[in-house]
Amino acid sequence: MADVTTAQDVVTYRESVAEGIAREMRRDPSVVCLGEDIGAAGGVFKTTVGLFEEFGPERVWDTPISEQAIVGAAMGAAMTGMRPVAEIMFSDFLACCWDYLANEIPKVRYMTGGQVTVPLVIRTANGGGLGFGAQHSQSVENWALTVPGLKIAAPSTPADVVGLMASAIRSDDPVVFFEHKGLFASKGRPAPDGHVVPFGEAAVLRQGADVTLVALASTVPLALTAADRLAAEGIEAEVLDLRCLIPLDVTAVLRSVERTSRLVVVEENPYQGGWGGTVVSVVADEGFELLDAPVKRVAGANVPLPFADALEDQVIPTVDKVVDAVRSLATY
Amino acid sequence: MADVTTAQDVVTYRESVAEGIAREMRRDPSVVCLGEDIGAAGGVFKTTVGLFEEFGPERVWDTPISEQAIVGAAMGAAMTGMRPVAEIMFSDFLACCWDYLANEIPKVRYMTGGQVTVPLVIRTANGGGLGFGAQHSQSVENWALTVPGLKIAAPSTPADVVGLMASAIRSDDPVVFFEHKGLFASKGRPAPDGHVVPFGEAAVLRQGADVTLVALASTVPLALTAADRLAAEGIEAEVLDLRCLIPLDVTAVLRSVERTSRLVVVEENPYQGGWGGTVVSVVADEGFELLDAPVKRVAGANVPLPFADALEDQVIPTVDKVVDAVRSLATY
Amino acid sequence: MTETTATDLLALHETMTLIRRTEKAAHDLFLSGLVKGTTHLAAGHEAVAVGTRSALQDGDYAFATYRGHHHAIAWGATPEECLAEFMQRSTGLNKAKGGSMHLTKAEAGMLGSYAIVGAHLPIAVGAAWSARLRKTDQVSVAFFGDGATNIGAFHEALNLASVWKLPVLFVCENNFYMEYTPIASVTGVGNPAADRAPSYGIPAEVIDGNDVVAVRDAVARAAGRARAGDGPTVLEAQTYRHYGHSRTDPAKYRPDGELERWLERDPLTVSAGRLREAGTSDDDIKAAEDRAAAVVDQAVAGAKAAPQADLSEAFTDVWADGGAAWRT
Amino acid sequence: MTETTATDLLALHETMTLIRRTEKAAHDLFLSGLVKGTTHLAAGHEAVAVGTRSALQDGDYAFATYRGHHHAIAWGATPEECLAEFMQRSTGLNKAKGGSMHLTKAEAGMLGSYAIVGAHLPIAVGAAWSARLRKTDQVSVAFFGDGATNIGAFHEALNLASVWKLPVLFVCENNFYMEYTPIASVTGVGNPAADRAPSYGIPAEVIDGNDVVAVRDAVARAAGRARAGDGPTVLEAQTYRHYGHSRTDPAKYRPDGELERWLERDPLTVSAGRLREAGTSDDDIKAAEDRAAAVVDQAVAGAKAAPQADLSEAFTDVWADGGAAWRT
Ligand SMILES: Cc1ncc(C[n+]2csc(CCOP(=O)(O)OP(=O)(O)O)c2C)c(N)n1
Ligand SMILES: Cc1ncc(C[n+]2csc(CCOP(=O)(O)OP(=O)(O)O)c2C)c(N)n1
Ligand SMILES: [Mg+2]
Ligand SMILES: [Mg+2]
């Protein structure tokens, strides 16, 4: 991961998760948390530290290992006046309650003709790079993308964690909130009071005229580091942090490609069925005339994730792979 | 759905499912079936009619409503010398056992360093168009596509059902086999004896120089009908039936685009996260120079599926939508 | 114990008749081609829905399955709203976006019909949790079939409800069949719901699901415990479906005579018998039944006359803002 | 009942020591930075794995969890293969592609360690089904934690195993904690596995999981029933983990004195006591322990000396043909 820490970077991404939740719990008594080991233990990633102490057992609930019951109960509570924030410890475990994410939560409003709303947040630790192996390392934001009716956020900085968490918890729509495991220890500026990052607005983190790099969560620092290296070679990359997959800020992508005529999508999920395919589709359709070169996707390899660090590096995006992809376009 | 029936079209897609399974069960005693109501009842879609009678209760097993146990047991049996064919009644219910498709079945071989193989088939009735509503109509082949390690077949004709079923059951790799509900009643030529359709080979069902239509399962007859209509307007469409998503025959797609310079992907799953995005990505990268026009995807709308037929038509691909998409390119 | 007067009972009988007539109308409309898609009729199950509702209070929640017409109507959906939904009319209960499997009357606390077996049990638990968090006196009821007791969500829901001592009632409508397979052939215990309750520390009763008063009494006891903070109850109501599983099912798998035996204990026959015992005249019973029949006749006419689903509705109601925008 | 001679017991004691030493080595290698990722040590649980294996036959299957080092070694994986795996060496049991959570020794019937809680229970049931279909005499064992008893897959697996009367043993290692939360606080019954068994019609026993002989005897009984066609058994072995849940857990949530009390009943202490009772000399016990220690010392050296994972392995073993090709 890129280390771009400065003096103002005093809070971690990890702390910002708890901070973001706490701010909303203070504002709104209908916000309640549930999940495995999130209470006194503060969560296995320490992303809920302090919540149990501040808000007590009626607002921070430890659950059995019952992912279906966790998100199912969150759904029922959301339909009846609460704003639950459910933790699914590792995003891989979303598979254990996938019916709720795929068939129940995103559909109930539509299929009842708008009779109910489901204002809930499902938070989960996503992504690899830590050597947790095939069942604890996946980037599964693409799973969520297959399902119309879910909003999807995936912050890359501590301040965005807080700002997007505010939007997520205040949203009357269901949100899947991907916290990246590889970013938990990273630091950044603290979010100002009342910080809210609206959904569906990509951030242009770096300007550049030669190529657009579209990134999300863990791939944002990768893209930024790659951009620095490329700058040294005289290639100026524009770096966009999508921040959300739904709503998807394709306008920002198209505007950037208008300037750069080149697009590289950097995504951690596998190439097959990865979210970059949706971004590329829109650009290959609506932005076809803007393009001067093939569109590239630096994505996870189409293999399960191996345990050994060196093997994992072979199959997830790295700075080198981003740099290589951009170089191949620059000479185009 | 297109009606392109001829005098030789004497078997249904539905019957071909049972026929395809039966042929393999006769060949190989290690093939066993399990699923809900598949035995004496012959399956809720009548796709296993006759199997129980021919092979008996030791080879055709009725199960409780326990999707996790069904595919989990299939996995354990596959790892220990059997070739189970598990039915998940509606593909939407794959969400109830998603952990097995996402985390267990496709990964166990890799993460054990190749110590085990998982030769199983998960068959499931996929897709909409029958007014079954949001939880029984989805096209979820894109879910499977998000997971490296699964092979994915989705036949469009009775003969392909038999031929791909043979490949699926003989495969030493796990296969998700999507049978399209909207095609069950459709007819076609019977599969010849010993018919085997290899995985990963798209079929060129119609030749044409003006545009490539890439289709799968239910969208194949749509694309063929659209091609007929377009021909009347002087537009010659080439129609490819992918038949499999993994392995994905991108070579066939690229070859066709080489001839036509235009690409429209017709897919029933939603646009967001749909498989067309992966196809388009490859073409926008490796086939960029071949393209003379924007690439279009006629896909499901990004909404849950509504019940009323007229509403469902609004949100799934139709012949009209395909024709319109091609027209918009032809004038390009 | 809730006392059930003859007047109460007559009202229950009338509601059950309303349901029975609606199911019959749905069946006939299907045969005449006006109802498409699939339907799972609840004729035979009426007493469970009506008895349960009658023992509860306004504002108590219900969560049902794809076989949920009776619950919707028991919670106040009108036959016309339901039939209009099946007939894909814009006046349908769910604006023709849900269909038979997803009837919902949220304003009355009937929070949906769910078509993935067992999935709504955790959701119902969540509504009960919410009632507790909001310190209301509400109870949440999950209705489900015998087949649902073998799916994982059942297990997770019951355990969580027990551990959190939530005001939730798990009401199993044991009609002895899944789709076409007898439940006994795929379940390790005799009473698929009640025999599992002890493994969550939850009290359970097996009850006569064809006797509306028996259901009402059992639910009243369970709801009382729930409201007192004593946690969930499992009620296994034995009943029988008169039609096949769904519209395409002729139910040939039933042994000879089984349906007939159950028809003798038709919930409407049972309630009529109880009414007579309580001194209600045949005329009064018939008047109630006629009122129900008239409502359903009007409902059929009204639904037929209603406009088809509004095409623009395909793109509404995804998000809380009413729209379906997924991108900028 | 399997008779356990002093010789048998000494072998069991040695294997348990081998596991204990391997766990200690893994812990030390982690502290010295040579083991990365996560590890879930099984020190304290040895008797369950070793006792179970000793009551079974070659070819019987085992399915374990992320806390599976003891099962892998009990089924014949060598400490060196395991340590090499943790250290990401090409000689690792899973070629460094699985890691600590996925130890597998397929050739010995140990068909994997699964890191999604409960997921392997249906898989183990499937292996038992397969044994029955192939008419072998094999038994399949699923090892799992107390926490796994609240997940849906547990429920589905036990019911299916019961209905199909499969030769499968469900062996719960109840160490009284999930990760950091006591199981009692999230479970509706006292014995999370055994108290659930009746709801599937499965016989159950709660056993002393720290006494290798008690485990062995109970497993022998259960395996006998399974092979006789009498179906599954649930065994709940009470035990305790000496380390925290995983490498990052200091286990501060444990009440004072709890660990100490359990250490008094350390499975190695119990087996040593039994050995002494059976007349085995302290010298013989020490010799067995020293052999185990020597194996592990050599294993550490061997694993350290082994080459790092082979980078090309990232793209092998997806498919049965050895490759990873997903397109033409
Ligand atoms: C998870 C899941 N699996 C399978 C189905 C298909 N299915 C619909 S109803 C049904 C039978 C349910 O039986 P039961 O729970 O007894 O309810 P009943 O229909 O008898 O009221 C099945 C298998 C489903 N809808 N969901
Ligand atoms: C489905 C799922 N949920 C959560 C986790 C995270 N997790 C890993 S181990 C564990 C605790 C398991 O406790 P138990 O079953 O008692 O086994 P033990 O670790 O005590 O051996 C949890 C919650 C997981 N791996 N899988
Ligand atoms: Mg039933
Ligand atoms: Mg435990």
Question: Ligand 2 within 6 A of D115 CB?
Answer: yes
In-domain check, residue B292: yes
Same domain for A254 and A290, yes or no, is yes
CA of D178 to the centre of ligand 4 (A): 4
Q: Which residue has the tokens 């009942």?
A: D1
Any alpha helices (H) in D64-119, and if so which ranges?
Answer: 69-74, 79-86
CA of D115 to the centre of ligand 4 (A): 13
Ligand nearest to the CA of D244: 2
Q: How far is CA C253 from CA A255, B87, C240, in A?
A: 63, 21, 14
pLDDT tens, position by position, C19-63: 999 999 999 999 999 998 889 999 999 999 999 999 999 999 999
Which atom, in ligand 2's list, is nearest to the CA of A37? 23
Ligand nearest to the CA of C115: 1
Please give all residues whose beta carbon lies within 6 A of any atom in ligand 1, as ranges: B 36, 65, 67, 89, 93, 96; C 67, 115-117, 145-148, 151, 173, 175, 177-179, 245
In-domain check, residue B160: yes
| From A89, A132, A136, mutation site for ligand 2 pocket: most ligand atoms within 8 A of C-beta | A89
User: What is the count of residue pairs from C and D with beta carbons less than 8 Å apart?
Assistant: 68
CA of C100 to the centre of ligand 3 (A): 17
Tell me the CATH number at A238. Answer: 3.40.50.920
Let me know: does D19 contact D73? Beta carbons within 8 Å: yes
Domain boundary among A161, A188, A215: A188
How high is the pLDDT of residue B1?
43
How high is the pLDDT of residue A8?
81
In-domain check, residue A194: no
Contacts of B257 in chain A (CB under 8 A): none
| From B34, B88, B89, mutation site for ligand 1 pocket: most ligand atoms within 8 A of C-beta | B89
Same domain for A161 and A89, yes or no, is yes
CA end-to-end span of chain A: 28
pLDDT at B4 over 70: no
Same domain for B273 and B144, yes or no, is no
In-domain check, residue B6: no
Instruction: Tell whether ipTM is more than 0.95.
Output: yes
How high is the pLDDT of residue D1?
53
Which residue of chain A is at minimal alpha-carbon distance from C97? A111
Active site residue A180: no
Calpha distance A307→A178 (Å, rounded)? 22
In which band, very low, low, confident or very high, does the pLDDT at B130 lie, cut at 50, 70 and 90? very high
Same domain for A229 and A157, yes or no, is no
Best of A70, A105, A112, A248 to disrupt the C interface (most C CBs within 10 Å) is A112
In-domain check, residue A277: yes
Instruction: Report the side by side order of strands in the sheet with A203-206.
Output: A203-206, A237-241, A211-215, A263-270, A296-300
Domain that holds residue A165: 11-188
Contacts of C156 in chain D (CB under 8 A): 150-152
Same domain for B118 and B229, yes or no, is no
CA of C260 to the centre of ligand 4 (A): 52
Instruction: Report the side by side order of strands in the sheet with B175-180.
Output: B60-62, B31-35, B83-90, B121-126, B175-180, B151-153, B244-246
Same domain for A153 and A230, yes or no, is no
Same domain for B20 and B114, yes or no, is yes
Angle at B145 between CA B127 and CA B44, to 5 degrees: 30
Let me know: does A202 contact A240? Beta carbons within 8 Å: yes
Q: Which CATH number fits domain C6-32+40-302: 3.30.420.40, 3.40.630.30, 3.40.50.970, 3.40.50.300?
A: 3.40.50.970
Residue nearest to atom 22 of ligand 1 (CA): C179
R_g (Cα) of chain B, nearest Å: 19
φ/ψ region of D113 (left if φ > 0, alpha if ψ in -120 to 50, else beta) reads beta
Same domain for B32 and B114, yes or no, is yes
Share of chain D above pLDDT 70, in %: 99
pLDDT tens, position by position, D254-301: 999 999 999 999 999 999 999 999 999 999 999 999 999 999 999 999
Weakly modelled stretches of chain C, pLDDT under 50: none
Same domain for A108 and A212, yes or no, is no
CA end-to-end span of chain D: 58
Mean pLDDT of chain A: 97
Helix (H, G, I), strand (E, B), or coil: what is residue B153?
strand
Let me know: does B132 contact B184? Beta carbons within 8 Å: no
Helix (H, G, I), strand (E, B), or coil: what is residue A135?
coil
Which atom, in ligand 1's list, is nearest to the CA of C42? 21
Tell me the CATH number at A144. Answer: 3.40.50.970
Name the pTM for this structure.
0.98
Domain boundary among A155, A188, A221: A188
Helix (H, G, I), strand (E, B), or coil: what is residue C144?
strand
Shortest Cα–Cα distance, D303 to chain A (Å): 14
pLDDT tens, position by position, C292-314: 999 999 999 999 999 999 999 99
Q: Does B146 touch chain D (CB under 8 A)?
A: no
In-domain check, residue B288: yes
In-domain check, residue A6: no
Core vs surface per residue B164-202: b (16+ CB within 10 A) or e: bbbbbbbbebbbbbbbbbbbbebbbebbeeebebebbbb
Same domain for A148 and A264, yes or no, is no
pLDDT tens, position by position, B143-191: 999 999 999 999 999 999 999 999 999 999 999 999 999 999 999 999 9
CB proximity list for B70: less than 8 A, separation 6 or greater: B34, B35, B36, B63, B86, B87, B88, B97
Best of A311, A313, A318, A321 to disrupt the D interface (most D CBs within 10 Å) is A311
A301 DSSP assignment: -
D228 phi and psi, to 5 degrees?
Answer: -80, 0
Instruction: Name which of A246, A272, A104 is nearest B144 in CA terms.
Output: A272
Q: Does B73 touch chain D (CB under 8 A)?
A: yes
Calpha distance D262→D268 (Å, rounded)? 12
Split into its structural domains, chain B has a count of 2
Which residue of chain D is at minimal alpha-carbon distance from B60? D133
Instruction: Name which of B330, B331, B127, B332 is nearest B213 in CA terms.
Output: B330
Let me know: does B156 contact B180? Beta carbons within 8 Å: yes
Same domain for A30 and A156, yes or no, is yes
Spell out the domain ranges in chain D. Answer: 6-32+40-302
Within a 10 A sphere around the Cβ of A190, how many other Cβ atoms? 17
Domain boundary among A157, A188, A219: A188
Angle at A16 between CA A13 and CA A22, to 5 degrees: 160
Q: With residue D146 as reference, give the H or E element that holds it.
A: none
Same domain for B218 and B139, yes or no, is no
Ligand nearest to the CA of D150: 2
Let me know: does A214 contact A265? Beta carbons within 8 Å: yes
In which band, very low, low, confident or very high, does the pLDDT at B2 lie, cut at 50, 70 and 90? very low
Q: What average pLDDT does range D216-238 have in this prediction?
A: 98
Q: What is the pLDDT along chain A (332 residues), one digit of tens a residue?
A: 445 567 788 999 999 999 999 999 999 999 999 999 999 999 999 999 999 999 999 999 999 999 999 999 999 999 999 999 999 999 999 999 999 999 999 999 999 999 999 999 999 999 999 999 999 999 999 999 999 999 999 999 999 999 999 999 999 999 999 999 999 999 999 999 999 999 999 999 999 999 999 999 999 999 999 999 999 999 999 999 999 999 999 999 999 999 999 999 999 999 999 999 999 999 999 999 999 999 999 999 999 999 999 999 999 999 999 999 999 997 77
Best of B94, B307, B318 to disrupt the C interface (most C CBs within 10 Å) is B307
* Chains contacting chain B through 3 or more C-beta pairs under 8 A: A, C, D
